[in-house]
Amino acid sequence: MEFTAEMIAAFLSGEVVGDKDIKVWTIAKIEEGAPGSLSFLSNAKYEHYIYDTNASIVIVNSSFEPTAPIKATLIKVEDAYSCFAKLLELYAANKPQKKGISEKASISDSAILGEDCYVGEFAVIGDNVKIGNNCKIYPQVFIDTNVVIGDNVTLYSGVKIYDETNIGNRVIIHAGSIIGADGFGFAPNEKGEFSKIPQIGNVVLEDDVEIGANTCVDRATMGSTLIKKGVKLDNQIQIGHNVVIGENTVCAAQVGIAGSTKVGSNCMMGGQVGLAGHINIGDKVQLGSKAGISNSIADGEVHMGYPSLPLSKFSRSNAVYRNLPSLSSDVHQIKKDIAKIKLEIEK
Instruction: Let me know: does 125 contact 104? Beta carbons within 8 Å.
Output: no
CA distance 255 to 158: 21
Integer Cα distance of 53 and 38 in angstroms:
11
Q: Got the DSSP string for 245-266?
A: E-TT-EE-TT-EE-TT-EE-SS
Question: Torsion-angle region of residue 312: left (phi > 0), alpha (psi -120 to 50) or beta?
Answer: alpha
Write the DSSP string, 22-39.
Answer: -EE-EE--GGG--TTEEE
Partners of 16 in beta bridges: 75
What residues act catalytically?
241
Rounded to 5 degrees, what are φ and ψ at 22? -65, 145
Give the residue from 219, 209, 218 showing the smallest Cα distance to 251: 209
With a CB cutoff of 8 Å and minimum separation 6, the contacts of 172 are 153, 154, 156, 209, 210, 211
Largest CA distance in the chain: 100
By CB neighbour count within 10 A (0-12 exposed, 13-18 middle, 19+ buried), where does 4 fall?
middle
**180: Cβ–Cβ under 8 A, 6 or more apart, which residues?**
144, 161, 162, 163, 164, 165, 202, 203, 217, 218, 219
The 3-state DSSP class for residue 344 equals helix
Pick from 91, 53, 85: nearest CA to 70: 53
Q: What's the CA gap between 110 and 68, in Å, rounded?
A: 66
